[in-house]
């Protein structure tokens, strides 16, 4: 049961989805801050309908403090997720990754010069019957 859960969690798409949700939430706060800090005051200026509620850092009526706070929050969240989730999981997946199979020794067919397995008695390309000769003799 634990092996199945481990295999499920270590599949790449589960981790990618979790990272996407966290970064998406942080990016959502950046978008919210841009809307509340820039677009809402612009609309208020154009329609001349009152003031927008802005935070500490205001330049010409635009709330750059909220935007800066959201961008810093996004960068911090993205860095934490990358360094504490993505990199360790990638290292863990690399550890459990099966090693590639060793290449099979081959020899060259004397008739068609194609590569064939060393233990072959007949060439797969030209169907020549091969003598039992060492691979170095060809």
pLDDT tens per residue across span 97-118: 888 888 889 899 888 988 988 8
pLDDT of residue 1: 74
User: What is the mean predicted confidence (pLDDT) over 47-66?
Assistant: 58
Return the ∠ at Cα 72 (arms to 63 and 58), rounded to 5°.
15
Q: For tokens 């360790």, what's the residue? A: 88
Give the three-class secondary structure for 65: helix
Q: Which is higher by pLDDT, 2 or 73?
A: 2
- Of the candidates 83, 125, 90, the residue with the CA atom closest to the CA atom of residue 107: 125
CA dist 134 and 9 (Å) reads 49
Burial class of residue 22, CB neighbours in 10 A (0-12, 13-18, 19+): middle
pLDDT of residue 50: 52
pLDDT of 52 > 50? The answer is: no
Confidence of residue 42 (pLDDT cuts 50, 70, 90): confident
pLDDT of 121 > 50? The answer is: yes
Mean pLDDT of the chain: 76
Confidence of residue 37 (pLDDT cuts 50, 70, 90): confident
- Name the CA radius of gyration of the chain, rounded: 32
pLDDT of 4 > 70? The answer is: yes
pTM for this one? Answer: 0.46
| Helices and strands, number each (H, E), in the chain | 5, 4
């Amino acid at each position: 049961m634990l092996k199945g859960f481990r295999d499920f969690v270590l599949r790449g798409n589960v981790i990618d989805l979790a990272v996407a949700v966290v970064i998406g939430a942080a990016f959502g706060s950046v978008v919210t801050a841009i809307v509340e800090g820039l677009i809402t005051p612009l609309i208020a200026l154009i329609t001349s309908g009152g003031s927008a509620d802005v935070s500490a850092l205001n330049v010409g009526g635009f709330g750059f403090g909220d935007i800066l706070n959201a961008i810093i929050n996004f960068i911090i969240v993205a860095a934490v997720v990358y360094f504490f989730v993505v990199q360790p999981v990638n290292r863990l997946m690399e550890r459990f990754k099966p090693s590639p199979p060793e290449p099979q020794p081959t020899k060259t067919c004397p008739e068609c010069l194609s590569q064939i397995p060393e233990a072959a008695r007949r060439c797969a390309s030209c169907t020549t019957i091969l003598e039992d000769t060492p691979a170095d003799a060809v």
